[in-house]
Chain A
């Protein structure tokens, strides 16, 4: 399934509608659905946040294959931003040192089994997979 969404956080409601249609009728546990939704939101929000002036839509493609869900997000009018780079978030830090910046991509890296980023001719493509046979979130 593939659909393009306008470059706005307001698109999130449509995106969750899209993922709900994808999940409908598939034997996928709620915890995996939650994880996939969260990762898509964080990556999409990041694309909006760091390239708000881009004119084109952002495309989301979902596949259910090989015991997992594979999702690809493509932005044809993007600036390079490697989402696979480690995030400097310390989950042990006390409250006074906590910041919300970077938390989204930190969670992304916890919830996926693979995460790839490619940039070519102005197009950013992020591909992630979530395996459906894992017991828990990756440590």
Chain B
């Protein structure tokens, strides 16, 4: 189960599992957003290399326009995937704030 929707003002909300079966859906949605600015990952449970590929293509487009994607509320597990692929160097990533 994967959902992607716009929350306005360039913010895109991702939820569920962004795997290889869902990558096309994500890419088509993001391609339809003129200037995506922030990806809210609060409810994103999982991402694989197929999902990273979607974000990479989108980041290239957005940076070509002078912008840049920011990922917010990223879980530790997903952050690990970004870190080990080196994607933490090409996105601004903000983790979920520590509770308590």
Interface residues of chain A, those whose CB is within 8 Å of chain B, are: 9-10, 12-13, 16, 30-31, 34, 37-38, 41-42, 45, 89-96, 98, 100, 103-104, 106-107, 110-111, 137
Contacts and interface: CB of A to CB of B under 8 A. Distances in A.
Given A30-B77, A94-B90, A103 B53 contact: yes
The 10 closest A-B pairs by CB, nearest first: A91-B86, A100-B53, A104-B49, A103-B49, A9-B21, A34-B77, A45-B20, A12-B21, A110-B84, A95-B90
A10 B49 contact: no
Q: How large is the interface on B (under 10, 10 to 19, 20 to 34, 35 or more residues)?
A: 20 to 34
Contacts of A34: 46, 77, 80
B19 interface: yes
A95 B19 CA distance: 22
Interface in B7-65: 17, 19-21, 46, 48-50, 52-53, 56-57, 59-60, 63
- Majority SS of interface residues in chain B? helix
Contacts of B53: 100, 103
Interface string B57-90: 1011001000000000000110011001110011
A104 B90 CA distance: 18
A37 B80 CA distance: 14
Contacts of B52: 100, 103
A90 B46 contact: no
Contacts of A45: 20, 48, 50
A92 B89 contact: yes
20 contacts: A9-B21, A12-B19, A13-B21, A34-B77, A38-B46, A42-B48, A45-B20, A45-B48, A45-B50, A93-B86, A95-B56, A95-B63, A98-B60, A100-B50, A100-B52, A104-B50, A107-B48, A107-B49, A111-B84, A137-B80
Contacts of A137: 80, 84
A41 B18 CA distance: 11
Given A9-B20, A45-B20, A95-B59, A31 B77 contact: yes
B71 to A, nearest CB: 14
Contacts of B86: 90-93
